[in-house]
Structure 1
Amino acid sequence: METSLLFFSQRNMCESKEKTFFKLMHGSAKEEASKEAKTRAKEKRNRLSLLLQKSEFHEEPQARRSAHVTRVTRVCPEEAIRWGESFDKLLSHKDGLETFTQFLKTEFSEENIEFWMACEDFKKSKDPQQMIFKAKAIYEKFIQNDAPQEVNLDFHTKELIGKSITQPTLHSFDVAQSRVYQLMEQDSYTRFLKSDIYSDLIEGRPQRTNNLRRRSRSFTYNEFQDVKSDVAIWF
């Protein structure tokens, strides 16, 4: 009887070990399968997110380009030809100014025309406090060393503006504006008249699309028209 009981006990122990081993193996397999399923699901989500981002990236510039083409093609060839008579005639026309700004974007030099527009707006200031705010904003954005949209001015001109910035007058930026104007007239305007953008306009052809960089906080001509007396546009 003792031998039989001992044999039965050992048999139960073996079966128990086998069951435990089977449970461990089965549980481990289920855990691995679960991890693998979660990994596959995560990869699918990442791929889907990437596809959506690519879709948005391509759709947005295309929409912007289409809107730009619609604006520019409204200009009649006769009007565009008048822009070629003088730089002043180009800037005095709303569509001319906007088209020239778009051209400068292709050359990554739109800070020049934006500085010129900021000075034009500054000269219309009537409130002394607003004049001080605008003067400081223009100085910090376009003139001081390492400004986010620094224009090309000599040291002497920058120094004079820096000294008068706390008590500005309506003529504080006249010299700087005149020099940037001359730079655009003698350099950028000449290239503009030879560009595809301008030749398409005077020939009445549909405007070609351009690969333009995205801009961070620089304002556009439309925004300038809508809020040109708002000090916040310079910050």
Structure 2
Amino acid sequence: MKTSLVLLSQLNMCESKERTFFKLIHGPGREEATKEAKTRAKEKRSRLSLLMQKAEFHEEPHSLRSGLLARESRVSREEAVKWGESFDKLLSHRDGLDAFTRFLKTEFSEENIEFWKACEDFKKSKEPQQLKLKAKEIYEKFIQNDAPQEVNLDFHTKEVITRSITQPTLQSFDAAENRVYQLMEQDSYTRFLKSDIYLELIEGKPRRPTNLRRRSRSFTYNEFQDVKSDVAIWL
């Protein structure tokens, strides 16, 4: 009887050790795999959330669109027609400059008008220190390679500006400004006169609903499919 009890006790101990060993071998692996799967699912949800936020950011909210239409309505048709007479008349009018800037944003080329406005402001500088500060800001924002809003300039023009940036004058950016001005006048301005933004002003009514900057949504579908495959993990 004692022998049977001893054997049964040893058998139970062996079985317990086997379960412990099995848990040591397989438990962490499963736990690690689960953690990794949860991490992947969390990353996918984060990407999906970010893409959705970008999509919402690029959409033109209804309230913003309403505000733009209200502002546009204050511009008389006669004034808007004058903008079509010359590019200079468009830029010399505050509402015309604003309308053209919004048009360039729809084409993702607003750096050109922003550079032109910065140059016009630069030429109003009166103190040498102010001149140097603004010149440095313009150079870093629009001129240097990989600038945040780098404008399209030829190598020679950029070199001249680079050499003179430490001792700038009121004429330091004239050549670059003229080049960008001509580019907008010959290219962007002609498209602006055919755009809905301008035609709505001279016709006095919206032509069709705008769908500006909605392209980000097209990237969310596949991401959402990936996230759905792991839904059992993170729900």
Same fold (TM over 0.5): yes
Query: Aligned to 2:56, which of 55, 59, 71?
Result: 59
Structure 1 match to 2:94: 94
SS in 1 for 2:142: helix
Q: What amino acid is aligned across from residue 62 of structure 1 in structure 2?
A: E
Structure 1 match to 2:177: 177
In structure 1, stretches of 5+ residues that fail to align are: 215-235
Query: How many equivalent residue pairs?
Result: 211
Query: CA distance change for structure 1 residues 31 and 85 in 2, over 3 Å: closer, same or farther?
Result: same
Task: Using the TM superposition, give the Cα deviation of residue 201 of structure 1 relative to its aligned residue in structure 2, in angstroms.
Answer: 2.6
Contact 2:80-2:202 within 8 A present in 1 as well: yes
Structure 1 match to 2:132: 132
Query: Aligned to 1:211, which of 203, 213, 220?
Result: 213
Query: CA distance change for structure 1 residues 58 and 66 in 2, over 3 Å: closer, same or farther?
Result: farther
Identity rate, percent: 54
Query: CA distance change for structure 1 residues 47 and 113 in 2, over 3 Å: closer, same or farther?
Result: closer
**Distance in 1 between residues matched to 2:147 and 2:30, nearest whole Å:** 57
Task: Using the TM superposition, give the Cα deviation of residue 65 of structure 1 relative to its aligned residue in structure 2, in angstroms.
Answer: 6.6
In structure 2, stretches of 5+ residues that fail to align are: 217-235
Tell me which moved more, 15-24 or 194-203: 15-24
**Distance in 1 between residues matched to 2:175 and 2:23, nearest whole Å:** 83
Cα-to-partner distance string for 1:88-132 (whole Å, 9 max, x where unaligned): 221122222122122223333222211110111101112211101
Contact 2:55-2:214 within 8 A present in 1 as well: no
Tell me which moved more, 91-100 or 17-26: 17-26
Query: CA distance change for structure 1 residues 18 and 150 in 2, over 3 Å: closer, same or farther?
Result: closer
Query: CA distance change for structure 1 residues 191 and 124 in 2, over 3 Å: closer, same or farther?
Result: same
**TM-score normalised to structure 2 length:** 0.68
Q: Which has the higher contact order (CA 8 A, sep 6+)?
A: 2
**Distance in 1 between residues matched to 2:33 and 2:145, nearest whole Å:** 55
Query: CA distance change for structure 1 residues 11 and 75 in 2, over 3 Å: closer, same or farther?
Result: closer
Task: Using the TM superposition, give the Cα deviation of residue 136 of structure 1 relative to its aligned residue in structure 2, in angstroms.
Answer: 2.4
**TM-score normalised to structure 1 length:** 0.68
